[in-house]
Chain A
Amino acid sequence: SQQGEEDPQALSIQEGENATMNCSYKTSINNLQWYRQNSGRGLVHLILIRSNEREKHSGRLRVTLDTSKKSSSLLITASRAADTASYFCATASGTALIFGKGTTLSVSS
Chain B
Amino acid sequence: GAVVSQHPSRVICKSGTSVKIECRSLDFQATTMFWYRQFPKKSLMLMATSNEGSKATYEQGVEKDKFLINHASLTLSTLTVTSAHPEDSSFYICSARDWQGNSYEQYFGPGTRLTVT
Q: Hey, which bits of chain A sit against chain B, CB under 8 A?
A: 1-2, 35, 40-43, 45, 88, 93-102, 104
Contact = CB atoms under 8 A, between A and B. Distances in A.
Interface stretch (B38-46, B66-74, B81-89): B38-46
Given A40-B91, A45-B108, A99-B36, 20 more contacts: A1-B59, A2-B45, A41-B111, A43-B93, A45-B107, A88-B43, A88-B44, A93-B46, A94-B49, A95-B34, A95-B49, A95-B104, A96-B34, A96-B46, A96-B49, A97-B106, A101-B42, A101-B43, A102-B42, A102-B43
Nearest to A102: B43
B43 A41 contact: no
A22 B97 CA distance: 26
Interface of B: 32, 34, 36, 41-46, 49, 59-60, 91, 93, 95, 97, 104, 106-111, 113
A42 B45 contact: no
Contacts of A45: 107-108
A42 B108 contact: yes
B43 A42 contact: no
A59 B45 CA distance: 29
Contact of B111 (A42, A96, A97, A100): A42
B34 A97 contact: yes
